[in-house]
Protein backbone atom coordinates (compact mmCIF):
# COMPACT_ATOMS: atom_id res chain seq x y z
CA UNK A 1 0.00 0.00 0.00
CA UNK A 2 1.23 3.51 -0.76
CA UNK A 3 2.04 5.84 2.11
CA UNK A 4 -0.68 8.54 2.43
CA UNK A 5 1.36 10.71 4.83
CA UNK A 6 2.78 13.95 3.33
CA UNK A 7 6.55 14.44 3.52
CA UNK A 8 8.07 16.46 6.33
CA UNK A 9 10.02 19.51 5.11
CA UNK A 10 10.14 22.08 7.89
CA UNK A 11 8.53 22.98 11.18
CA UNK A 12 7.32 20.53 13.77
CA UNK A 13 6.05 17.01 13.18
CA UNK A 14 3.95 14.84 15.46
CA UNK A 15 3.35 11.08 15.25
CA UNK A 16 0.90 9.17 17.45
CA UNK A 17 -0.25 5.56 17.46
CA UNK A 18 -2.89 3.40 19.17
CA UNK A 19 -4.02 -0.13 18.37
CA UNK A 20 -6.18 -3.06 19.38
CA UNK A 21 -5.72 -6.77 18.71
CA UNK A 22 -8.85 -8.81 17.99
CA UNK A 23 -9.45 -12.53 18.47
CA UNK A 24 -10.49 -13.46 14.94
CA UNK A 25 -10.27 -12.20 11.37
CA UNK A 26 -14.02 -11.61 11.30
CA UNK A 27 -13.85 -9.52 14.47
CA UNK A 28 -10.92 -7.48 13.17
CA UNK A 29 -12.68 -6.77 9.87
CA UNK A 30 -15.87 -5.71 11.65
CA UNK A 31 -13.98 -3.53 14.11
CA UNK A 32 -12.00 -1.90 11.30
CA UNK A 33 -15.27 -0.90 9.61
CA UNK A 34 -16.54 0.55 12.90
CA UNK A 35 -13.38 2.58 13.49
CA UNK A 36 -13.31 3.77 9.87
CA UNK A 37 -16.89 4.98 10.25
CA UNK A 38 -15.93 6.88 13.40
CA UNK A 39 -12.99 8.45 11.59
CA UNK A 40 -15.12 9.72 8.70
CA UNK A 41 -17.75 11.32 10.97
CA UNK A 42 -15.78 14.29 12.29
CA UNK A 43 -18.78 15.84 14.05
CA UNK A 44 -18.57 12.93 16.54
CA UNK A 45 -14.87 13.35 17.34
CA UNK A 46 -15.36 15.47 20.46
CA UNK A 47 -17.60 12.71 21.90
CA UNK A 48 -14.98 10.08 21.06
CA UNK A 49 -12.08 11.97 22.66
CA UNK A 50 -11.72 11.21 26.37
CA UNK A 51 -10.76 14.76 27.42
CA UNK A 52 -12.35 18.12 26.55
CA UNK A 53 -10.87 19.10 23.24
CA UNK A 54 -11.65 20.83 19.98
CA UNK A 55 -15.08 20.42 18.40
CA UNK A 56 -15.36 19.88 14.66
CA UNK A 57 -18.24 20.84 12.36
CA UNK A 58 -18.24 19.46 8.82
CA UNK A 59 -19.32 21.98 6.17
CA UNK A 60 -19.51 22.30 2.42
CA UNK A 61 -17.35 24.80 0.54
CA UNK A 62 -19.79 27.60 1.40
CA UNK A 63 -19.70 26.88 5.13
CA UNK A 64 -23.08 25.12 5.29
CA UNK A 65 -23.21 22.43 8.01
CA UNK A 66 -23.20 18.79 6.84
CA UNK A 67 -24.24 15.69 8.80
CA UNK A 68 -22.60 12.90 6.79
CA UNK A 69 -19.28 11.20 6.18
CA UNK A 70 -16.63 13.62 5.08
CA UNK A 71 -15.57 13.80 1.45
CA UNK A 72 -12.59 15.38 -0.29
CA UNK A 73 -12.81 19.21 -0.46
CA UNK A 74 -15.26 19.38 2.44
CA UNK A 75 -14.29 21.82 5.18
CA UNK A 76 -14.02 21.44 8.93
CA UNK A 77 -14.81 24.36 11.22
CA UNK A 78 -12.83 23.89 14.42
CA UNK A 79 -13.62 25.44 17.78
CA UNK A 80 -10.54 25.01 19.95
CA UNK A 81 -10.17 25.97 23.62
CA UNK A 82 -8.87 29.51 24.03
CA UNK A 83 -9.11 32.70 21.98
CA UNK A 84 -10.70 32.49 18.54
CA UNK A 85 -9.38 33.52 15.14
CA UNK A 86 -11.06 36.72 13.91
CA UNK A 87 -10.42 35.94 10.23
CA UNK A 88 -12.21 32.64 10.84
CA UNK A 89 -15.09 34.33 12.72
CA UNK A 90 -13.78 32.80 15.93
CA UNK A 91 -12.87 29.42 14.43
CA UNK A 92 -9.98 27.67 12.73
CA UNK A 93 -10.71 26.15 9.32
CA UNK A 94 -9.21 23.15 7.48
CA UNK A 95 -9.98 21.50 4.16
CA UNK A 96 -10.24 17.75 3.59
CA UNK A 97 -7.26 17.62 1.27
CA UNK A 98 -7.27 13.90 0.58
CA UNK A 99 -9.10 10.69 1.47
CA UNK A 100 -7.45 7.36 0.69
CA UNK A 101 -8.96 3.88 0.90
CA UNK A 102 -7.08 0.72 -0.01
CA UNK A 103 -7.33 -2.98 0.75
CA UNK A 104 -5.77 -6.31 -0.08
CA UNK A 105 -6.03 -9.82 1.33
CA UNK A 106 -4.47 -9.06 4.72
CA UNK A 107 -4.65 -5.27 4.99
CA UNK A 108 -7.17 -2.45 4.84
CA UNK A 109 -6.49 1.28 5.16
CA UNK A 110 -8.47 4.52 5.26
CA UNK A 111 -6.77 7.90 5.75
CA UNK A 112 -7.79 11.55 5.72
CA UNK A 113 -5.45 14.51 5.36
CA UNK A 114 -6.53 17.95 6.57
CA UNK A 115 -4.90 21.26 5.56
CA UNK A 116 -5.43 24.82 6.94
CA UNK A 117 -7.61 26.96 4.68
CA UNK A 118 -9.53 30.22 4.54
CA UNK A 119 -12.93 30.94 6.07
CA UNK A 120 -15.61 30.25 3.41
CA UNK A 121 -18.08 32.55 5.13
CA UNK A 122 -16.34 35.78 4.14
CA UNK A 123 -14.31 37.15 1.21
CA UNK A 124 -11.01 37.16 3.11
CA UNK A 125 -8.77 34.49 1.55
CA UNK A 126 -6.22 34.53 4.38
CA UNK A 127 -5.59 31.18 6.03
CA UNK A 128 -7.87 31.04 9.09
CA UNK A 129 -5.77 28.70 11.23
CA UNK A 130 -2.91 28.98 13.71
CA UNK A 131 -0.68 26.92 11.36
CA UNK A 132 0.30 27.86 7.81
CA UNK A 133 -1.27 26.24 4.75
CA UNK A 134 1.70 23.91 4.28
CA UNK A 135 0.86 22.11 7.54
CA UNK A 136 -1.13 18.89 7.35
CA UNK A 137 -2.84 16.55 9.79
CA UNK A 138 -3.30 12.96 8.63
CA UNK A 139 -5.48 10.52 10.54
CA UNK A 140 -5.56 6.92 9.42
CA UNK A 141 -7.01 3.59 10.45
CA UNK A 142 -5.62 0.33 9.15
CA UNK A 143 -6.15 -3.37 9.70
CA UNK A 144 -3.15 -5.68 9.65
CA UNK A 145 -4.49 -9.22 9.98
CA UNK A 146 -6.05 -9.30 13.48
CA UNK A 147 -4.83 -5.87 14.55
CA UNK A 148 -6.62 -2.53 14.05
CA UNK A 149 -4.33 0.51 14.26
CA UNK A 150 -5.12 4.23 14.38
CA UNK A 151 -2.40 6.83 13.73
CA UNK A 152 -2.06 10.61 13.68
CA UNK A 153 0.69 12.35 11.70
CA UNK A 154 1.19 16.12 11.83
CA UNK A 155 3.59 17.49 9.22
CA UNK A 156 5.22 20.87 8.49
CA UNK A 157 3.61 22.59 11.46
CA UNK A 158 4.65 26.23 11.16
CA UNK A 159 2.90 28.98 13.11
CA UNK A 160 0.80 31.23 10.85
CA UNK A 161 2.29 34.71 11.24
CA UNK A 162 1.07 35.90 7.83
CA UNK A 163 -2.24 37.37 8.98
CA UNK A 164 -2.84 41.02 8.15
CA UNK A 165 -4.49 41.49 11.58
CA UNK A 166 -2.21 41.98 14.56
CA UNK A 167 -4.72 40.34 16.90
CA UNK A 168 -4.69 37.18 14.75
CA UNK A 169 -0.89 37.17 14.59
CA UNK A 170 -0.71 37.30 18.39
CA UNK A 171 -3.44 34.71 18.80
CA UNK A 172 -1.86 32.33 16.28
CA UNK A 173 1.48 32.67 18.06
CA UNK A 174 -0.08 31.84 21.43
CA UNK A 175 -2.15 28.89 20.18
CA UNK A 176 0.60 27.63 17.87
CA UNK A 177 3.16 27.68 20.70
CA UNK A 178 0.71 25.86 22.97
CA UNK A 179 0.28 23.21 20.27
CA UNK A 180 4.05 22.86 19.90
CA UNK A 181 4.46 22.58 23.67
CA UNK A 182 2.15 19.60 23.88
CA UNK A 183 -1.49 20.74 23.83
CA UNK A 184 -2.09 19.19 20.42
CA UNK A 185 -0.39 15.97 21.57
CA UNK A 186 -2.92 15.37 24.35
CA UNK A 187 -5.92 16.25 22.19
CA UNK A 188 -4.94 14.11 19.19
CA UNK A 189 -3.82 11.27 21.49
CA UNK A 190 -7.20 11.23 23.23
CA UNK A 191 -8.95 11.17 19.85
CA UNK A 192 -7.01 8.25 18.38
CA UNK A 193 -7.35 6.27 21.61
CA UNK A 194 -11.09 6.94 21.53
CA UNK A 195 -11.38 5.88 17.90
CA UNK A 196 -9.91 2.45 18.69
CA UNK A 197 -11.78 1.99 21.98
CA UNK A 198 -14.05 -1.07 21.67
CA UNK A 199 -16.14 0.03 24.67
CA UNK A 200 -17.50 3.14 22.98
CA UNK A 201 -20.91 3.13 21.30
> Can you give the pLDDT of all 201 residues of the chain as single tens digits?
778 999 999 999 999 999 999 999 999 999 999 999 999 999 899 888 876 668 899 999 999 999 999 999 999 999 887 767 777 788 889 999 999 999 988 899 999 999 999 999 887 788 988 889 999 999 999 999 999 999 999 999 998 887 767 666 777 677 666 665 556 777 889 999 999 998 765
What does the pLDDT read at residue 195? 95
Residue 83 near residue 120 (C-beta atoms within 8 A): no
| Torsion from C-alpha of 4, 8, 14, 18, nearest 10 degrees | 30
Can you tell me whether residue 45 is helix, strand or coil?
A: helix
Question: E strands of the chain, at which residues?
Answer: 12-21, 55-59, 75-79, 92-103, 107-116, 136-144, 147-157
What residues form DSSP beta bridges with 120?
none
pLDDT for res 3: 87
Distances (CA, A) of 87 to 10, 117, 121, 170: 25, 11, 10, 13
Q: What is the pLDDT of residue 84?
A: 72
pLDDT of residue 200: 65
Q: How far is CA 108 from the centre of its chain?
A: 20
Amino acid sequence: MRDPIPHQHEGKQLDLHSEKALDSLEQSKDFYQLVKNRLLHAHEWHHIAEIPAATFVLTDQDGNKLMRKMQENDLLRIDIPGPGNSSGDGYDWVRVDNITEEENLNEELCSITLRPTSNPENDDKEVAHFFKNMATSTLLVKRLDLKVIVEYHGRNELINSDSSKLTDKIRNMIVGLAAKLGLSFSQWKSLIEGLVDDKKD
